[in-house]
Amino acid sequence: MFTHSDVILLLVKNPVDVFDETTRLLVKIADNILKNPENTKVRTLQKSNNTIANKIIKVSGAVDCLKFMGFQENEDTLTLPLTSKLNNLELLRKELIKMKEGGKCSIMDASKPSSSKEIIQPSVIINNGIPTYSASEIRFLDNIKKVNLPLLVPMFTNHFLSRVEQYFHMALYFDNEYLKERAKSYVPYVELQLKAQERFRQIQKLVKSGKMEDPLIDIQDALILELLVWFKNDFFEWVDSPDCEKCDSKTKFSHMSSDPKLLTYTDKVEVHICVNCSHPMLFPRYNDLNILLETRKGRCGEWAKTFTLICRSLGWDARFIVDETDHVWTEVYCHSQNRWMHCDPCENAYDTPLIYENGWQKKVSYVMAYSGEDLQDVTWRYTSNHKAALARRKNCTERELVDAIVQLRQMRQSSLSDSRKKYLKNRLLNELVELMFEKKPTDKDQAGRVSGSLDWKLSRCEIKEAIGYVWKIHPVQIEGNQLILQYSCAKDAYELISNGEVIESVTGWSNGSFLSSGMFRKEEKDWKMVYLCRNESSKEGALSWKLDIEDESLRFQSVKVELGHKLYENGNIDLKVENQVVDLSKSENVNIPGTKSVLISANLSGGRGDVSWQHAQLFRQNETSDDFPMKFVFTFAKV
């Protein structure tokens, strides 16, 4: 059954002039019926009529619009019976007028009433210094419809196999019809379809012009790419630590709550303390998908569970992937290539399964895939060194794991039809053949982690040292007790200067940095400007520089930091020298006495709209400029 969004999507594929005229005609037909609903003449459209034949019958989606209104197609006519209700007619007329007034692109706005729904922000009150849920928060949580799974009767005593069993049981949530219907209501499907079609057309043009090889993708693949972008940029929010509700300052994790009153709706509640006013903030780690569809915030667990549910709600074969080294994501089955595709909503990453081993530096051991009807060990898709991964698998014997998977799979599939079982078996065999072969990492698999703050990623060792360059300082280089490290974006070059002379130079912004994540050098050909900013798909970008003294008799004393930058909208750049926050608006002198090694880091975030990635810029300058907008002036002291 078509929805109003479905038929409008069909109509919008037509050229603009055709679309405008057909829309005008459909609105006129609806108006005539609403003005005189008992008149059978206005309810009957003759196919032989030139206007109907040329502007309705021959136009893609126009007849579907009429059928959605309630018209029935006969051999010679399209007729709306007197017994038909006019609800759908009024709904479609309203949406068509909205598009007619706002232009063809207004379908984007018309298609997402659910997405723009106000997000529930749980509130917290303090009793005797202890945070707890407020009364309104409890009412909100109590009113969320609970989806209960069948009782799980544990089969395994081994901790790892028991955990596999629990995840497989939890995967039943993804096939719950109520949850899928709710999840689907939030997706701006028409908007994503239009963007996917445009992306697909652009790819086809590049293939035909010989500018790229055919990636063998279909419209579903393009739609998944758009869904990943929407989910990361518009729907879900990443939270390391919640901002303080009292003073809007940053908070830091303090402890996990053990208060049973807080653990009613989840078994994990974090308490974070404001670094400015010491106000405690709760951050519940919800597992309930109904709650997550409202709060829409969390870290990888909340992201991947909700994204997997949304994929299932769209009718795709999707499964929840759990990496035992502490990360989760989604896989979606691609029919055009007959294989499972890696999809990480936190990273907006698609078909880059080796990113965790190569970009994040993870030591992969067990990676398990869970869906409502199947269970699979997919570790071998996520490593390019099967032998090394196998050596790290100590949780149980390989035979025990295979037997557990087969047993759980057979129990779950026992109620499926023979044809479905046969399909799943054939798909499984194809996948097992694929997993036998090691794949080599590509350039896409080398990226470090995007989601999470720089400190958080560094603490988990999940950000790759893009170059890992360290500026080595020797006493013989220092004249006048001072050194300068500077960078020009126009020249794309670093210089280390002593007494007015360049003693070391490095070409390439990343080649002279210690760590980089989600960044690139932007060249504006029209404005003839260059600068560093975030990748278009990255909510955060990070860049840091490291200097080490190669002598026991010398130490850093201070550094004066100048970092040329431009901020637009609510773009933000956080600058730190070691753990000291630096005010970008000033040329500050930061004391670092007794330090042998110093790390200076910049974290870019914020911005609004589709070009938010451009709203925080480092070192913006004319491409012909001779200036060095980055300048670190170091002073030293002898031990």
- The pLDDT tens digits for 37-61 are 888 899 999 999 989 998 999 898 8
- With respect to residue 281, please indicate whether it lies within any of the assigned structural domains: no
Are 434 and 458 contained in the same domain? no
- Lowest mean per-residue pLDDT among 195-209, 221-235, 408-422: 195-209
pLDDT of residue 539: 80
pLDDT of residue 110: 36
Burial class (CB in 10 A: 0-12, 13-18, 19+), 433: exposed
Q: Which of 415, 404, 423 is nearest to 333 (CA)?
A: 423
DSSP summary character for residue 235: I
Q: Do 546 and 514 meet the contact criterion of CB atoms below 8 Å apart?
A: yes
Helices (H), 440-515: 454-459
Q: Position 523: which residue type? A: E
pLDDT of residue 104: 46
Q: What average pLDDT does the structure give for the chain? A: 86
Identify the residue with better confidence: 584 or 565. Answer: 565
- Active site annotation includes 565: no
End-to-end CA distance of the chain: 79
Are 498 and 630 contained in the same domain? yes
Task: Using the predicted structure, report yes or no on whether residue 108 has a pLDDT greater than 50.
Answer: no
Q: How far apart are CA 475 and CA 228, in angstroms?
A: 51
Strand, helix or coil for residue 401: helix
Mean pLDDT of 8-12: 78
Task: Using the predicted structure, report yes or no on whether residue 202 has a pLDDT greater than 90.
Answer: no
**What is the CATH number for 169?**
3.10.620.30
Are 340 and 306 contained in the same domain? yes
584-638, pLDDT tens digit by residue?
887 778 998 888 899 999 999 988 887 888 999 999 999 999 999 999 999 998 8
- With respect to residue 273, please indicate whether it lies within any of the assigned structural domains: no
pLDDT of residue 2: 62
Residue at a domain's end among 52, 83, 110: 110
- With respect to residue 138, please indicate whether it lies within any of the assigned structural domains: no
pLDDT of residue 467: 46
Q: Which of 294, 111, 317 is nearest to 224 (CA)?
A: 317
Are 100 and 20 contained in the same domain? yes
368 contacts: CB under 8 Å, gap ≥ 6: 164, 167, 321, 322, 324, 375, 376, 377, 378, 379
Mean pLDDT of 342-370: 92
pLDDT of residue 427: 95
Are 392 and 515 contained in the same domain? no
- With respect to residue 402, please indicate whether it lies within any of the assigned structural domains: yes
In the β-sheet with 280-284, what is the strand arrangement from edge to edge?
251-256, 269-274, 280-284
Are 491 and 361 contained in the same domain? no
- Active site annotation includes 327: yes
Q: How far apart are CA 580 and CA 601, in angstroms?
A: 10
| Site of tokens 């470090």 | 448
Q: How far apart are CA 300 and CA 130, in angstroms?
A: 27
Task: Using the predicted structure, report yes or no on whether residue 443 has a pLDDT greater than 70.
Answer: no
Q: Do 473 and 483 meet the contact criterion of CB atoms below 8 Å apart?
A: yes
Catalytic residue among 279, 327, 565, 615: 327
- With respect to residue 164, please indicate whether it lies within any of the assigned structural domains: yes
525-544, pLDDT tens digit by residue?
778 899 999 987 678 889 99
Quickly state the pLDDT bin for 114 (edges 50, 70, 90): very low
* Strand ranges, E, within 324-467: 327-334, 339-344, 349-350, 367-370, 375-377
pLDDT of residue 117: 41
Are 66 and 168 contained in the same domain? no
pLDDT of residue 118: 45
Distance from CA of residue 555 to its chain's centroid?
Answer: 43
Here the tokens at position 194 are: 């239009």
Q: How many domains does the chain have?
A: 3
pLDDT of residue 638: 85
Task: Using the predicted structure, report yes or no on whether residue 84 has a pLDDT greater than 90.
Answer: no
Residue at a domain's end among 413, 441, 469: 441
What backbone phi and psi angles, to 5 degrees, belong to 359?
Answer: -80, -40
Are 622 and 573 contained in the same domain? yes
Its domain, for residue 386, covers: 158-186+299-441
- With respect to residue 342, please indicate whether it lies within any of the assigned structural domains: yes
Mean pLDDT of 210-225: 80
pLDDT of residue 448: 60
Percent of the chain past pLDDT 70, that is, above it, reads 89
Strand, helix or coil for residue 167: helix
pLDDT of residue 136: 60
Identify the residue with better confidence: 482 or 165. Answer: 165
Strand, helix or coil for residue 551: coil
pLDDT of residue 503: 92
Q: How far apart are CA 306 and CA 186, in angstroms?
A: 11
Q: How many CB atoms lie within 10 A of CB 288?
A: 20
Are 356 and 491 contained in the same domain? no
**What is the CATH number for 612?**
2.60.120.1020
Burial class (CB in 10 A: 0-12, 13-18, 19+), 393: middle
268-318, pLDDT tens digit by residue?
999 999 988 998 999 999 999 999 998 899 999 999 999 999 999 999 999
Catalytic residue among 221, 288, 323, 344: 344
Quickly state the pLDDT bin for 414 (edges 50, 70, 90): very high
Q: How far apart are CA 126 and CA 131, in angstroms?
A: 4
Q: Give the β-pairing of 630-638 and 482-488.
A: antiparallel
Here the tokens at position 423 are: 């399909």
Quickly state the pLDDT bin for 396 (edges 50, 70, 90): very high
Task: Using the predicted structure, report yes or no on whether residue 207 has a pLDDT greater than 50.
Answer: yes
117-131 burial code (b ≥16 CB/10 A, e <16): eeebebebeeeeeeb
46 contacts: CB under 8 Å, gap ≥ 6: 52, 76, 77
pLDDT of residue 412: 95
Are 520 and 600 contained in the same domain? yes
- With respect to residue 270, please indicate whether it lies within any of the assigned structural domains: no
Q: Which of 276, 288, 339 is nearest to 178 (CA)?
A: 288
- Active site annotation includes 374: no
Mean pLDDT of 350-372: 92
Residue at a domain's end among 386, 413, 441: 441
Q: How far apart are CA 565 and CA 621, in angstroms?
A: 9
Burial class (CB in 10 A: 0-12, 13-18, 19+), 498: middle
Quickly state the pLDDT bin for 368 (edges 50, 70, 90): very high
Are 340 and 469 contained in the same domain? no
pLDDT of residue 124: 52
Quickly state the pLDDT bin for 209 (edges 50, 70, 90): confident
- With respect to residue 182, please indicate whether it lies within any of the assigned structural domains: yes
Are 29 and 67 contained in the same domain? yes
- Dihedral Cα 217, 220, 224, 227, nearest 10 deg: 140
Catalytic residue among 300, 311, 343, 346: 300
452-477, pLDDT tens digit by residue?
555 555 545 555 444 478 999 988 88
